[in-house]
Structure 1
Amino acid sequence: MPPEDVEAGEHKASIAVWELVSPLVIGRTTKIKVGAKCSAGCQLTDHEISIHDAAGQVIARAGFGATAWPGTSGLYWVDIEFRAPTEAGTHTFSVECEHGEAYSEFSFITVEPPEHSLTIQIYDKATKEPIPEVEIRLGVYRSISNERGLARIDAPKGSYTLTAWKLGYDLFSTELNITSTVAIEVEIAVEPEPAQPYWM
């Protein structure tokens, strides 16, 4: 049956949200991608999508573009901007599309504006060579070291747990009190190979 002949009640649409960066700075505008797909294969060009805050108020609207997301069959999408709440914390917003009564929720964290910058230089503990693609976390803030082993995180002053990890290396963890812009060096060790069983 062609999509246009399907009864409206048979339409089921699903929503996807991606490229959501968290944490967000309070009160600042951010952009996410929202996509929707109809089970009946309907073209969703110009169909409206809306973002609702925790109180259910519409805070942003947009219409889907003319083409589906590359590599998908019928996932119509749009870039849509919204303003983060003015209070720090964890928030859950929703996305709605009238077509197929599609509904989805997404959560994110908001934080105070960053005051200081932390630069982290990652080295191999044995070779002293810089290590790229190390996952860095400073509390809720995240970064990845570049090809020179450098990563940067902007954050408000405060006490944080700093962790550094990459597959094949031991997890590094330490406590930091950020009171100013600072640069530190971190050495991580190659994860030891498991002991081989000894057979008599």
Structure 2
Amino acid sequence: MISGPEDVTMAVWGANGPIEIGANLTVRVGALSRRGESLVGRTVRVVESGGKEVARGALGEEAWPGTALLWTTIVVPVPSEPGLHSWEAHVDASTLAFSIAAVPVPAHALRVLMINTTNLENTPLPGVHVRAGHYAATTDETGRAELSVPKGTHTLHAWKQGYGRVATTMEVHADVEISLATEVLADKDPQYVREHWL
């Protein structure tokens, strides 16, 4: 929240990202006059960084749950270029900036198989967190996870508590399958524990 120059407190909810390029971002903008004036029906304008208005709405009569801010829902078009995009919500002379990361539309399946190589077991490992940039999944009981990613270079990270972290960089130009191996991390060497902690 922010207090504007005209004693209007504002908030924006729903600017969570990332979002796909060219999509619509639905946000809720709330406002409250700190002087006690009614803001019912007051216009909310959303402008892009260049100053052009891209959306507008009007504050309703009901306060956002758990707050005293009147609010409205506004649909903001997301630009077609990937990257961080910023807007400002305006109520009278008060403004509140918000931003969101726009990412390319996923076009390919990146399938991951996690293998536990502890003691040469080579068994599938469930519950591994797998992430490639903004795209994430968790391996199922068969040790498999699938991420939908856009074409390009991706650094894939995989981790699970008690196991070694794995990272690899790959080019994705079509659907891809990859196997990654990790093993249980051994506890600290007993001699190290005796020397440094006892």
Q: Does 1:37 align with 2:32?
A: yes
Q: Secondary structure at the match of 1:32?
A: strand
Is the 1:122–1:131 contact (alpha carbons within 8 Å) kept by the matching residues of 2? Answer: no
Aligned to 1:3: none
Q: Distance in 2 between matches of 1:125 and 1:47?
A: 62
TM-score, structure 2 as length reference: 0.71
Residues 127, 160 of structure 2: 8 Å contact kept = no
The answer (yes or no) to whether the contact 2:5–2:94 under 8 Å persists in 1 is no
How many residue pairs get matched? 186
Equivalent residues of 1:38, 1:74 under 8 A apart: no
1:1-200 pair list within 5 angstroms: 12-40=7-35, 44-70=39-65, 72-98=66-92, 101-120=93-112, 128-131=124-127, 134=129, 136-139=130-133, 141-145=134-138, 151-165=145-159, 170-186=164-180, 196-198=193-195
TM-score where L is the length of structure 1: 0.70
State the Cα deviation string for residues 102-149 of structure 1 (Å, max 9, x = none): 3111222323333212244557665844117x3x4323x233437757
Q: Answer yes or no: is the 8 Å Cα contact 1:160–1:175 preserved in 2.
A: yes
Per the TM alignment, residue 75 of structure 1 is displaced from its structure 2 partner at its CA by: 2.7
Paired with 1:75 and 1:191, the residues of 2 have a C-alpha distance of 50
Provide closer, same or farther for how the CA distance between residues 67 and 111 of structure 1 changes in structure 2, counting only shifts above 3 A.
same
Tell me how far 1:96 sits from its aligned partner.
1.3
Please say which structure displays the higher CA radius of gyration: 2
Unaligned runs of 5+ in 2: none
Assess, with a 3 A threshold, how the Cα gap between structure 1 residues 189 and 47 changes in structure 2: closer, same or farther: farther
Are 1:164 and 1:172, in contact at CA under 8 Å, matched by a contact in 2?
yes
* Structure 1 residues 162-196: Cα deviation after superposition (integer angstroms, max 9, x where no partner): 12346666543211211112344555556665664
CA distance in 2, matches of 1:146, 1:69: 38
Give the match's secondary structure for 1:92.
strand
- For structure 1, the residue ranges without an aligned partner over 5 or more in a row are 1-8
- Structure 1 residues 191 and 68, CA, compared in 2 at 3 Å: closer, same or farther? farther
Identity %: 28
2: distance between equivalents of 1:30 and 1:40? 31
